[in-house]
């Protein structure tokens, strides 16, 4: 199965709303799920349903084995060891776990990006002194400014592999090595937007990284489950965010003994069905080669950039080059302060689903666009024709709302 026909695997795309086919262009928020992921979850509930790591009976041991197999398949995907994969609720929880668990002091310097997601900015700012790397004149990360900030000897450097607003893919290999060389900083990668793409797959044996955070739901997996990869020596030093059942070896009346990594970070009953679905999502991604994924992503990115540059009434945030960029386009419309009417009309009159707002990255949106944006984000099952369709619909709506004489 290739990328061109993979849309048949996504039941939602068979749905019509008011007789219209759906064009789903909000993939940076969350992706659709292939049938195999949905089946894995439903199969757990219809055939097993037991809790994991608790009972010694057949169903519980079967569920535990399936759950742990997912951990090992993710480890294999990243070139890591099984005990370096911690299941979390999502990327947000994974990032909070690291920011909290490192026991930072308020004057410890942490470097993030101006276009970081709030899931990074808020936890790092709570626990340390966060400095943000600016964007350069093209809208990519300003490497000169990054090197300048490294002179402050940060304790932690948080690299957003792919921005959910500009779509820029940062040179994380180069940036991670520079951080290690400058001050042996702890390197954290936010891979929420990159892990969905086979061509951006990270191999931890080749990258000087200590932690990687991502969510399952943006990479065709279910909501409710995400991951933190942590180098075992780093996870060993991390303080758990949550305490409770499943993360201790024993508890007496006054003390307790925590389990080894990764289990001491997984207190309470986890989302078992979602985790099994996540395992299927990783298997599904293995259907696509890095080359095909890159070609497809570039074709979608070119369509997004071309459509924006052809229209005087649009401003596109970020670089106008399609290399090192994912198919995410954040747009502002001249003369239009409230984009929500446009998004609703795109949905209701054309079946086109895309997002408006600050994309949980308000510092960069305010800094570069002066207000809210309309974001289109495309994925493996989208086509450049759908991007063209989006722009044609936008032309009609902009004309209809009297925002521009066409």
208-246 per-residue burial string, b: 16 or more CB within 10 A, e: under 16: bbbbbbbbbbbbbbbbbbbbbbbbeebbeebebbeeeeb
In the beta sheet, which residues pair with residue 135? 141
The minimum distance between CB 342 and ligand PLP, in angstroms, equals 21
Between residue 145 and residue 184, which ones bind ligand PLP under the rule CB under 6 A? 160, 164
Residue 98 in contact with ligand PLP, rule: CB under 6 A: no
The minimum distance between CB 360 and ligand PLP, in angstroms, equals 6
Between residue 364 and residue 393, which ones bind ligand PLP under the rule CB under 6 A? none
Binding mask 195-234 for ligand PLP (x = CB under 6 A): --------------------x-------------------
What is the distance between the alpha carbons of residues 219 and 281, in angstroms, rounded to a whole number?
7
The stretch among 187-195, 249-257, 283-291, 331-339 that binds ligand PLP (CB under 6 A) is 187-195
**DSSP codes of every residue in 118-185:** HHHHHHHHHHSEEEEEPB-TTSSB-HHHHHHHHTT--SEEEEESB-TTT-BBP-HHHHHHHHHHHH--
Residue 193 in contact with ligand PLP, rule: CB under 6 A: yes
**DSSP codes of every residue in 56-122:** -SHHHHHHHHHHHHHHHHHHHHHT--GGGEEEESSHHHHHHHHHHHTT--TT-EEEEETT--HHHHH
Q: Which is nearer to ligand PLP, 223 or 404 (CB)?
A: 223
Q: Which of 162, 183, 326, 360 is catalytic?
A: 360
Q: Binder to ligand PLP among 91, 97, 156, 187 (CB under 6 A)?
A: 91
360 is catalytic: yes
The minimum distance between CB 67 and ligand PLP, in angstroms, equals 20
How many residues interact with ligand PLP (rule CB under 6 A)?
A: 12
The minimum distance between CB 19 and ligand PLP, in angstroms, equals 31
Whether residue 351 contacts residue 332, with contact meaning beta carbons closer than 8 Å, is answered with: no
Residue 332 in contact with ligand PLP, rule: CB under 6 A: no
**Nearest C-alpha neighbor of 7 from the set 31, 26, 43, 28:** 31
**Nearest C-alpha neighbor of 352 from the set 327, 322, 374:** 374
Residue 90 in contact with ligand PLP, rule: CB under 6 A: yes
Residue 88 in contact with ligand PLP, rule: CB under 6 A: no
Q: Which residues bind ligand PLP (CB under 6 A)?
A: 90-92, 117, 119, 160, 164, 190, 192-193, 215, 360
Active-site residues, by number, are 360
């Amino acid at each position: 199965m290739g990328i061109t026909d993979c849309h048949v695997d996504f039941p939602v795309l068979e749905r019509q709303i008011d007789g219209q086919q759906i064009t789903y262009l909000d993939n940076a928020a969350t992706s659709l799920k292939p049938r195999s992921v949905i089946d894995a979850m439903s199969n757990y509930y219809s055939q097993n349903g037991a809790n994991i790591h608790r009972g010694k009976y057949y169903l519980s041991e079967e569920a535990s084995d399936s759950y742990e197999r997912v951990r090992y398949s993710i480890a294999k995907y990243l070139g890591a060891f099984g005990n370096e994969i911690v299941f979390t609720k999502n990327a947000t929880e994974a990032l909070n776990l690291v920011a909290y668990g490192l026991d930072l002091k308020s004057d410890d310097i942490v470097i993030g990006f101006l276009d970081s997601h709030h899931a990074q900015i808020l936890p790092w700012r709570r626990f340390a002194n966060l400095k943000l790397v600016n964007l350069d004149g093209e809208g990519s990360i300003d490497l000169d400014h990054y090197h300048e900030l490294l002179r402050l000897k940060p304790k932690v450097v948080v690299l957003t592999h792919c921005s959910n607003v500009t779509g820029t893919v940062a040179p994380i290999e180069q940036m991670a090595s520079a951080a290690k060389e400058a001050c042996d900083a702890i390197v954290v990668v936010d891979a929420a937007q990159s892990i969905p793409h086979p061509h951006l797959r990270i191999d931890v044996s080749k990258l000087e990284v200590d932690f990687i955070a991502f969510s399952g739901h943006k990479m065709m997996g279910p909501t409710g489950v995400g991951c933190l990869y942590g180098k075992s020596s780093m996870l060993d030093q991390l303080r758990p965010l949550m305490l409770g059942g499943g993360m201790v070896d024993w508890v007496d009346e006054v003390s307790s003994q925590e389990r080894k990594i990764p289990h001491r970070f997984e207190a309470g009953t986890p989302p078992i069905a979602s985790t099994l679905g996540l395992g299927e999502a990783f298997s599904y991604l293995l259907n696509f080669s890095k080359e095909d994924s890159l070609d497809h992503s570039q074709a979608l990115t070119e369509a997004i950039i071309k459509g924006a540059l052809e229209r005087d009434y649009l401003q596109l945030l970020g670089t106008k080059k399609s290399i090192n960029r994912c198919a995410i386009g954040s747009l502002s419309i001249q003369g239009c302060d409230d984009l929500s009417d446009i998004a609703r009309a795109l949905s209701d009159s054309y079946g086109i689903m895309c997002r408006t707002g600050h994309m949980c990255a308000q510092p960069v949106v305010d800094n570069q666009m002066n207000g809210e944006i309309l974001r289109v984000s495309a994925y493996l099952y989208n086509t450049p024709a759908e991007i063209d369709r989006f722009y044609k619909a936008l032309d009609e709506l902009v004309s209809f709302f009297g925002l521009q004489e066409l």
